[in-house]
Amino acid sequence: MRGDVLGRMNIAGELRDALRSDGLHVAYQPIVDLATGRIVALEALARWTNEAGEPMAPDVFIPVAEETGLIVALDGWVLDSAVAQVAAWRALRPAPAPLCVHVNVSPITFRTPGFADAVLACLERHDVHAADVLLEITETQMMGEDPPTLQAMEALHTAGIGVAIDDFGTGCSSLGYVRRKFVDVIKIDRSLITGLDSDPDQRRIAAALLAVVDAFGLTAVAEGVQTEAEVAALRQLGCRYGQGYLWGEARPAAELAVFRPEVV
């Protein structure tokens, strides 16, 4: 237990230094149209290699960042990097097909006073349109009908910035946000997608969630798609978009073929 606490304190200290010295980077994973295979968006994911040169998993450092409050700076840094990257892609000639970049925002960051204004200021600073960015907020830690979260969602929605509920189907508190129409995209958690083609119960749950998405006129993205059989099952159920290792892991911007000038 003591070692665990010390380990987390170490992570927090190193992460604080990494944030000060630009020691993190962002990798981008494609989100594709299941009918055509065309990339329609990219999800920005934080990547960090610690002082010992070991890559640290977000599942390890994001919870530490949330416990220590560092998450607000981390989310802000990832947002700024991703928006700067969008501006750089937009400046390419010939211009690549328009893509939306999804940025993860912790529920803790989302409810911070001034968050929506900071997002708008970031877009203005880089001269990027609201439609080019979408914010993903995780369902599991979302506080049910939290007034500061609702206010931020409304302000972002009014400004034309899309909001997605991430890991949908793992928590139980986000239907209120869906009902209030401040949400545009639902990302169906990987745990509900794996084995969808062979497990009838899994299929029933996915069908029910997709019916909710449809009833509210939202867009669904299936997470963690790894097989063509899952793609076929998702298409049968009417899910339009997917993301997963089937189309590739997250990669640094420079390695994304879609944005190399010679292929656009």
Contacts of 87 (CB under 8 A, 6+ apart): 126, 127, 128
Query: Which CB, 71 or 123, lies closer to ligand C2E?
Result: 71
Inter-CA distances, 231 with 49, 190, 248, 261, Å: 33, 13, 14, 30
Query: Which CB, 75 or 166, lies closer to Ca ion?
Result: 166
Both structure tokens of 177: 């946000």
Query: Which CB, 75 or 184, lies closer to ligand C2E?
Result: 75
4 binds, among ligand C2E, Ca ion, none (CB under 5 to 8 A by kind): none
What's the full length of the chain, in residues?
A: 264
- Helix residue spans in the chain (DSSP H): 2-20, 58-68, 71-90, 107-110, 115-126, 147-158, 175-179, 200-215, 228-236
- Here's the x/- map for Ca ion, 223-242, by CB under 5 A: it reads as x-------------------
Residue 167 touches Ca ion, criterion: CB under 5 A: yes
The binder of Ca ion chosen from 29, 104, 112, 202 (CB under 5 A): 104
Distance in Å, CB of 178 to ligand C2E, minimum: 18
Query: Which CB, 95 or 113, lies closer to ligand C2E?
Result: 113
Whole-number Å distance between alpha carbons of 239 and 209: 10
224 binds, among ligand C2E, Ca ion, none (CB under 5 to 8 A by kind): ligand C2E
* Span near Ca ion by CB under 5 A; candidates 17-25, 53-61, 75-83, 163-171: 163-171
Q: Do residues 19 and 74 make contact, with C-beta atoms less than 8 angstroms apart?
A: yes
Q: Cβ–Cβ contacts within 10 Å for residue 1, how many?
A: 5
Q: Do residues 32 and 38 make contact, with C-beta atoms less than 8 angstroms apart?
A: yes
Q: Do residues 248 and 42 make contact, with C-beta atoms less than 8 angstroms apart?
A: no
Distance in Å, CB of 168 to ligand C2E, minimum: 10
Q: Where on the chain is the footprint of ligand C2E (CB under 6 A)?
A: 29, 45-46, 57-59, 62, 71, 75, 78, 104-106, 136, 138, 166-167, 190, 223-224, 226, 244-245, 249-250
Range 185-214, binding Ca ion (CB under 5 A): none
What residue ranges bind Ca ion (CB under 5 A)? 104, 136, 166-167, 223
